[in-house]
Each structure stands twice: as structure tokens, then as C-alpha cells.
Amino acid sequence: MQEEPEPMSNTTVEQLRIPVALILIILAAFVFLPRLGGAPEAATATPGATIVAGQPGGEVTSSDDTVAAASPSPVATPTTAPTAAPEPTPEPTAQPAGPDGFTAEVLACRSISGPDCNGRLGRLPGDASSFTALVRFTDANAGDAISVVLDGPSGTIAGGPYTLQGGGDGYYYSVFTVGGLPGGDYTVTATRNGSEVATTSFRRGG
């Protein structure tokens, strides 16, 4: 007769339990823990800022179908006592009214309050960093694109066009940054759908 194997003692079972438990823990860690070394997520590129020659805007303040909108009150600007005779401010030149009655004028301003020009410019100081071109118009049509163009020693700089959402009377403006422009005579031309409708001029420095 073959001898029956002796049953494992409690001491032997206890000795085997710990190594088996360690093996199970290592296997679980390999399966369930996230694997390292994955491909890093691609960084999302942030588009750079676009430099715009003008910051356009505008509004139709009255039309045949709507009640005239209230215009913002002009902002008072501090004034100093003049030390010399003021220079004459160039008068804006408007084109004759079109067949549909459209008229416009363009002004070079230190700043604006709605359709009001605060400080019309005949001479722009050499240390000035910007000015605002203001176009005031009547009898415009919905869909008209109003814009301005600055011409001078540095060449031609176009302001951004503004497309009217309604017809009637209103205004358009474009802010020009001029810190790097050379001194000399400049002309601001207002356009309607690409056609000249009004001009004005100023001198920078000098």
C-alpha cells in the first residue's frame, strides 16, 4: 500500500499565504494602475492678436420708421489758457448730395461723445498717440458701408468699414493709432460703399 500524503500543517499554510498575497497585489497593480509614458496632450495654440488700423463703430440715430435715439451727452474736456493765437481749424469738405439725398461730413477729433466731436483738430501734437475720425451722415440706406481713409507722408491707412443696419441719419467713427506716424500734412477721406463723400485735413507736429 502507498502511504497517504500527510496533510499540510497550519504552519505551512501560513507560510504560503503571504507570498501568494504579494503576487496577487503585484498583478493587480500591473493591470489596474494607469500606464506611464503615454503621449502628452498637444498644447492648444492660442491665436495671436490681430492689429487693426482702426476701431470702427457707428449708429443710425434717426430714420423714417423709428423715433430718434437719445445721443450721449458730450463729455467736457479741460481747457487751458491759450498762450498764442489759435490756429484755424480746416473746414471739412462735403460732396454734393447724392441722388438719394445722402450727405456726409468727416471731422478729425481728439475724442467723441456719440455724434459729437470733442476737440476738432487742425494740428495734432507730435506726442499724441491717437485721434478719432468722425463721419456724420444723413439719408443713408440700410446696408451702406461707411469707412474712412487716412493719407499722408506715411502712406494710406484704411479704417475698418461699418455696415449700417438701418437707414436714416447717423454717425460712424474710427480710432487711429498714430504714435509712430511722421510729422506732416494728413487728409481724412470718408467713403460710402467705396466712393468718396467728404474730406478734412490736419497737420501732425510742426
Of 61, 57, 73, 52, give the one whose Cα is nearest residue 132. Answer: 57
- For residue 182, the SS3 value is coil
Asked, for residue 136, whether it belongs to a domain, the answer is yes
Average pLDDT over all residues of the chain: 73
Asked, for residue 36, whether it belongs to a domain, the answer is no
Q: Is the pLDDT of residue 61 over 80?
A: no
Confidence of residue 180 (pLDDT cuts 50, 70, 90): confident
Q: Is the overall model pTM greater than 0.85, yes or no?
A: no
Asked, for residue 18, whether it belongs to a domain, the answer is no
> E strands of 141-179, at which residues?
145-152, 155-158, 162-163, 168-177
Q: For the domain that residue 200 is a member of, what is the CATH number?
A: 2.60.40.2550
Q: Which domain holds residue 120?
A: 54-65+90-204
Averaged pLDDT for residues 184-191: 96
6 or 130: which leads in pLDDT = 130
148 or 5: which leads in pLDDT = 148
Q: Is the pLDDT of residue 46 over 50?
A: no
pLDDT digits (tens, 9 = 90+) for 120-137: 999 999 889 999 999 999
Q: What's the confidence (pLDDT) of residue 33?
A: 53
Out of 61-75, 111-125, 145-159, 188-202, which region has the weakest mean confidence (pLDDT)? Answer: 61-75
Helices (DSSP H) in the chain: which residue ranges? 10-32
Averaged pLDDT for residues 166-177: 94
Backbone angles phi, psi at 153, to 5 degrees: -60, -25
Asked, for residue 105, whether it belongs to a domain, the answer is yes
Asked, for residue 183, whether it belongs to a domain, the answer is yes
82 or 7: which leads in pLDDT = 7
Q: Is the pLDDT of residue 153 over 60?
A: yes
Backbone angles phi, psi at 26, to 5 degrees: -65, -45
Averaged pLDDT for residues 4-20: 58
How many Cα neighbours within 13 Å face the side chain of 3? Answer: 3
Q: What's the confidence (pLDDT) of residue 3?
A: 53
The per-residue b/e assignment along 30-41, b for 16 or more CB within 10 angstroms, e otherwise, is eeeeeeeeeeee
Asked, for residue 8, whether it belongs to a domain, the answer is no
pLDDT digits (tens, 9 = 90+) for 90-114: 556 656 666 789 999 999 999 999 9
